[in-house]
Chains A and B, each alone.
Chain A
C-alpha cells in the first residue's frame, strides 16, 4: 500500500531503483505526472491515511518485511499510458520460453484419481498457480482432501502487512474446518490416540506445490491450539450432525480467536513469540471452498472471490458469483460495520473506501490492530520483542479508534447445489479480479477447459459453405486458440491473460513480456500478487447425483 494522493517524488525513486533495462520505459515520461496520477491507491489492503504518516513510514520502509506496504502501486491502465510517452522505445523482451518459465514456476495440478472409468468424486481435479508482485509474495493457497469426512477443501489467502498471517491461515484453517466437520466418535478416537501416544488418524491429504511450505517451528504450538479446540468440541457434544455452513463459520472464528490468543499469551521461545506476534499484527483474507458431491460451500472473509463458470445451453459461458466482497463497494458490508458501532463514529468508520481509512477488506484474519483494545495493543507491544517495539507500524493506533473490535474473521457462507452445467469454480485473490472482469474469466477458463470446442460449435446447418471456406474458418479458429495450448494449467492460462491482455482481450506477448520483466521493486506498482485455483467439476457425476435425487 502507498500513501494516498500525496506520495513524494524522491521517495518514489528511492523505493524503485529501476534497473537500466527499464529506463526506456519511463525515462521519457514525466515521472511527476506518473506519480500524481498513479498514486490513487485502490489495491492494497492496508493504507496509511495521512501524509505525515506516509512520511514517517518511508523512514523505516527499508525494513524488509513491511517494505511492500509502502511501495507505490499504480493503476494498471497507467502502464499503457506511460508507454505512449516513450518516443524511442528501446525494446526489451523476455523470450516466450522465459515468459513461460516465470508463469509456470508455481503452477500445480491435481487430478482426482479415476477408477474403472467411473469417477465418484464430483471434482475432476484442480489447477492452481501464483504470480508474485510482492517480494516475498503475500498470497497463499491451500488444497486438501478431507480423509475422515467426505469432501475437498480449497482456498486462497491474501495477506497484507506481511505474509505471516496468510501463511498461518493457509496452514491451519483447513484443520480447523476438518475438525469442525468431524463426528463426535472420530474426535474421541483422535483424542484417545493423542492421549495414549498412538498414531493419529490422518485428517487431511494435502495437495501442495513444493513452494507451499509449512512452518516446522510452530507446528507444536498450532497443534496444541487445535487440540484444545477439538477437546472443547468433544465436551460440547451437541450430538447433532454437523452442518457444513456452521462448521465453516466456527472454524474461521475459532482460528482467528486462537491467533489472537496466542499473541496475547506469547511463547517462551523468542522465535515463536515473535512469529505469533507477526501473525497477529499482519492480516489475511480467506476464500475457501468445500466441495462434497453436489454441495458446494464457499466461505469468504475479505475481498478474494469465488466464481462459478456455467456453460449455457448454447455453449456460451457465464459467471456466477459465489461470494460477496467485504469492502467498501459492498453496501451491506458498510451497513454492517456501521451497525456495529455507535452513530458518532459513522463518519470515521469508512474513509477513502477503507475501514478507518486504512484497511481495504472489511473482514480479515489477524489484524489485531483493528480488533484489540488500545490498552491490550500497548501492553503486548511493550512486553513484546524489540523488533516489534521498534516498529512504528505496530505501535501506531488507527485514528478514531473508540469501540474495537472493528474487524471480524467471520465468513459469509454461500451454499450452492452443483448442476451439470456448472463446469468449474475459480477462487482467486483480488489481484486477478482487479484486472479482469468475471465474465471474461468465465469465458477464458471455459474455452480453455473445453479446448474451445463447445464454445461456439460451428454448424453448417442449411448454409451454403464450401470446403475452402470452412477450412479458412477453422484455420483461423485454430490460430486463435493456439495460445490455449501453451498452458497445461488453467490457472496459468488465466494469469497469462490477466497480465498480458491487450484491449482486444487477447494475449499480447510484448505486453506480457514487459510486465514480467519488471524488477521486484517495481512490479508492485503495476500489479498485485495473483493467486488462482480453478476447480473442474465432473458433470457426469453431478448429473448422476441429480438423477438420484429425482
Chain B
C-alpha cells in the first residue's frame, strides 16, 4: 500500500517547490522520518492557531495570510495533506444544488487554476470538464435545475444529448441515457499538491507550519479562546481554527466548554486501474453517473472510479482510532454494486487491470452541507470541516469565507446554510450521527426532490401532542430535531410510500393541503407550532428594554400587552433574526423566533447583552406548547373557551393577553397567526397542552375545526407575501429590501444596530427588492413545480432568484417569492431597484430550463381577502402603510 500512496502523490513534485518550501520539506523530513532531536520550536504565542494540515487548514492559512493576518500557526498531527486530502479523488466540480456551495466550488476552481503559476508548485490542474449523466427523466430535471443556476452564475454549462456524450467520451455506453449535463470548466487536480501549494504561499507570507504536532486541548478564558496545548508545548492565541476533518468532532470536545461539531466518518471506496492499452487522455471529461452512484475520472492513463453506495459503512464512532488514515481494508464485496455500475457504464473496461481499491474515509454531516463558522459558546473558536466528500471542490471557497469571517467579522456571502450554529447539541449524539450519516451518504447520489425529509434520527424533540396528532393521521417533517406536522392524511385515504412520492411535479398531498387551507380560510384550523424558539428576557430595572431597543430595529417601548414584529439586525442592516416580541410587563419580554434560531439567536444576544446580573435571558422553548388557531371562526372558539371578549374591538391584532382557556390558566394568547389570516397563537405551559388542545377541538367542532400542518401554513403565508427568516430573509437582506420599513423605527430616539446602514439605504435606495411573482401560464397539473432557487428573468435578462414558492389555493396559481436586482445592461454593475423598475418589467421564472410568465407584485393581494378581513387589519395595514 505504501508504494501506492507514493504513486498517488507522484505528481507532487517536491523538488519543483520553491527554495523556501524545499527547506521546509527537508527540515520536515529530517524531523519526522529521521527523528532528529531538535524540530523547530513552537512559538509561545500567535494570533491564530489552525489545527489540521489538509486542504481546509491550508486554504484558511492561505486566505488569512493573503488578507494580511500573518501571525498564524498551522499545526498538523501527521504530515501536511496526509489525511483525507491525500486520498481525495481530486475532482473539482461546480455542479452543486445549494447556491452557496456552488459559489464556493466556482471560486475554488478559479483559485486552483492559477495556483501553479502563483506558487510554482505543480498542482496537476487539468481542465477536463465533467459530464453528469441522467438515466431517468427525473434525473434530467434535477440536472436542468442545476444547469439553470450555473448559467446565471456565468459558469458555462449545457444540457446535452446521449449522442453528444458519446462524442465527448469514447468509453460510455449511452443506451440507457436520456440526457446529460456538460460543465466544460470543471477540473481535476492532485488534491495533496493543491494543499501543499496553498501551504507554500501561506508559508511565504509568514504562516508557520508545524507537522507532527497534535493539539490536545484548547483553553478558554471568559468565553474566549486563550490558547492551545500540544504535545510539543503551549501556544497562546486569540483564534483557533478547527480544520481537523473527521477528527473535528473529538477536537471540539477537548475544550472546557465543548464545541459540538456534528460530523461522522464513513468508509469511501474508489478503484484505481493500470493504464488502458491506449492510455486515456488526461483531458478526458470526468463522468458522474448518479443513477449508477459512481464517478469516473481519468487517472494516469487508466481510471479512478468511486461512488456512494446505498449501504455505507460508518466508522470511528467511538472516536479517534488512529492518527493518519492508515490504509483501511479493501472491501471488494462492498464495492461490487459500484463495480457493476461502472462496467455497465463503460463495458470496454472489462479487460482493464486493477491496481488497487482505495478505502478513504470521508466525513459527513447531518444535512449534507459542510460546517463552518464560529462556535456559539466559545468566541474565537472557528470550525471548517464536514465536507461530505467534496473537500476539494469547496476547499478554496470555504477557506476564503472563513478567513473573511475571522478578519471582517462576517463573510462576503450568506453562509447561514453552512453555519455551525444551525446545529444544536442535539445533533451531536454519536448514535444520532452514526445513523444519520448512513442516510446522508447514499443521498449524495439520490435524486434531490422538493420537500424531502430525513428518515433517521427522528422523534427526538416532540410536542406533548405528538401522539394525539399522529393518531389523527399526521405526517411529519423535522426541523432542528423537532417533529412538525406537514399535513393530516384523512382517514381512509392513503398516500404513496416515501420512495414513490418523490416528484418534481404536483405532489400527492395536493388536495389534502388544499382542504386544510380552505378550512383556515373559511372556518378554523389548529396548527401545532411548538417548535418555535422562545426566549424570555427580563430585568429588575430598565435594562431589558434598553438593551432590546439597541438590538432590535422596531420600537419596543410599546404599552404592555403589545406584540411587535421586528428584525434583529446586524451592522449592515441585514436580518440576523426575524421575530415577534411581546411585552409581558414593563420589564419583561417574550420573544418568538424561527425554530432553527435557537442556537444562533441565543449566541447573538448573549454576546451583545450587557454582562449585568440584573438582566436575565432564559430559553423557554421547551416550556410552552404553541397552538396556532387560524381562521375566521378562531375568535368564536376562543371566546367560548375563555368567557372573555376576544372580538377585534377587545382584542385587536398584535396584542398579547394572559387568559384562561378551559380549566387552564395563564395561557399567553397573541392575536397573530404568522400568516396574515385572522386568529390567535396560544402559548400554553406544556402541562396544560393536552387539556387546551382537547378543549379547543371539542369546542371547535361546531365551527368546523380541524387539524392542519405546516404545508397549509406555508401556502397561506406565501400568498400573503410573508417572508420567513432562513428561507427568504438572511443576514444580507435588510428590512428596506423586503418592504418592511414599517418594522424599523429609525426615529425611536436611540441608536440601534444597523441603523446607519438602513439610513443610508433609505437615502440611496435598495439594490435588491423582495418581490412576489404569480405564475401566469403554469399548469399546476402538468408543469414542473417551482421550489426555490429558480432564476428570475426580467425582459429576458437575469435579475435574481426565488427564495420560496407555494401553490396559492385562493389564487389558484403558483406564487414565488424572490429578490429582484438591477444589473446595468452594459457593465453588469448593480443599480438601485426602484418600484418603477419592478413594475415595468415582463417577468419569467425559469424552472429547470423552462420559462414561465410571471406577474410581479410588491404588495399582497389585500382586495382578495377583504371580505374576511376582520381584525387582521392592523397586521395587514402595517404593510400597506409604506
Contact = CB atoms under 8 A, between A and B. Distances in A.
Contacts of A118: 318, 430
A457 B342 contact: no
A458 interface: yes
Interface stretch (B99-107, B333-341, B578-586, B652-660): B333-341
A478 B353 contact: no
A467 interface: yes
B111 interface: no
Interface in B720-749: none
Contact of B351 (A116, A457, A468): A468
A199 B334 CA distance: 52
A540 B318 contact: yes
Contact of A457 (B332, B352, B429, B434): B332
Interface stretch (A7-15, A203-211, A469-477, A501-509): A469-477
A117 B354 contact: no
Interface in B387-420: none
A117 B332 contact: no
Interface in A465-507: 465-468, 470-471, 473-475, 477-478
A168 B318 CA distance: 43
B332 A474 contact: yes
B284 interface: no
Given A114-B431, A117-B429, A478-B333, A471 B340 contact: yes
Nearest to B333: A453
Given A117-B318, A457-B332, A467 B431 contact: no
B239 to A, nearest CB: 30
A458 B332 contact: yes
B331 interface: yes
Nearest to B330: A459
Contact of B431 (A117, A453, A459, A478): A117
A475 B354 CA distance: 17
Contacts of A216: none
Contacts of B273: 467
Nearest to A463: B354
Contacts of B357: 460
B430 A460 contact: no
Contacts of A464: 353
Contacts of A459: 330
A473 B342 CA distance: 15
A418 interface: no
B352 A466 contact: yes
Contacts of A467: 271, 273, 339, 342-343, 349-354
A116 B329 CA distance: 26
Contacts of B326: none
A310 interface: no
Interface in A370-417: none
B333 A452 contact: yes
Contact of A471 (B330, B334, B350): B350
A115 B340 CA distance: 37
B16 to A, nearest CB: 31
B880 interface: no
A464 to B, nearest CB: 6
B317 interface: yes
Contacts of B431: 114-117
B356 interface: yes
Interface in B297-343: 317-318, 329-336, 339-340, 342-343
A470 B352 CA distance: 10
A459 B327 CA distance: 13
B342 A460 contact: no
B336 to A, nearest CB: 4
B330 A460 contact: yes
Contacts of B331: 453, 457
A114 B432 CA distance: 11
Interface in B342-363: 342-343, 349-357
B347 to A, nearest CB: 9
A457 B350 contact: no
B100 to A, nearest CB: 30
Contacts of A466: 350-354
Given A458-B332, A474-B332, A477-B333, A465 B318 contact: no
B424 to A, nearest CB: 16
Contact of B339 (A114, A116, A474): A474
A478 B431 CA distance: 30
A453 to B, nearest CB: 6
A468 B330 CA distance: 18
Contacts of A457: 329-333
Contacts of B330: 457-460
Nearest to B430: A117
Nearest to B349: A467
Best-buried of A464, A465, A467, A475 by chain B (most CB within 10 Å): A467
A110 B774 CA distance: 55
A111 to B, nearest CB: 13
A478 B354 contact: no
Nearest to B273: A467
A474 to B, nearest CB: 4
Interface in A533-550: 540
Contact of B336 (A114, A465, A475): A475
Interface in B443-496: none
A453 B334 CA distance: 8
Contacts of A470: 332, 339, 354
A451 B313 CA distance: 12
A523 B665 CA distance: 70
A471 B350 CA distance: 8
B336 A117 contact: no
Contacts of B351: 466-468
Nearest to B336: A474
A116 B430 contact: yes
A473 B343 CA distance: 14
Contacts of A453: 331, 333-334
Contacts of A116: 429-431
A464 B356 CA distance: 11
A142 B24 CA distance: 66
Nearest to A481: B333
Contacts of A474: 332-333, 335-336, 339
Interface in B784-840: none
B317 to A, nearest CB: 5
A115 B429 CA distance: 9
Interface string A432-467: 000000000000000000011100011110001111
B272 to A, nearest CB: 10
Contacts of B349: 467-468
A452 B336 CA distance: 13
A317 B340 CA distance: 29
A52 B253 CA distance: 79
A444 B87 CA distance: 36
A11 B356 CA distance: 67
A453 B267 CA distance: 14
A451 B333 CA distance: 10
Best-buried of B343, B350, B352 by chain A (most CB within 10 Å): B350
B848 to A, nearest CB: 35
A468 B350 CA distance: 4
Contacts of A471: 336, 339-340, 343, 350
A114 to B, nearest CB: 6
Contacts of A460: 330, 332, 354-357
Contacts of B355: 460
Nearest to A478: B336
A465 B353 contact: yes
A446 to B, nearest CB: 15
Given A116-B431, A467-B349, A474-B339, 5 more contacts: A117-B434, A460-B354, A466-B353, A471-B343, A474-B335
Across the A-B interface, the 7 shortest Cβ-Cβ residue pairs:
A117-B430, A468-B350, A474-B336, A458-B332, A117-B317, A117-B431, A465-B354
Interface of B: 271, 273, 317-318, 329-336, 339-340, 342-343, 349-357, 429-431, 433-434
5 contacts: A453-B334, A471-B340, A471-B350, A473-B332, A474-B335
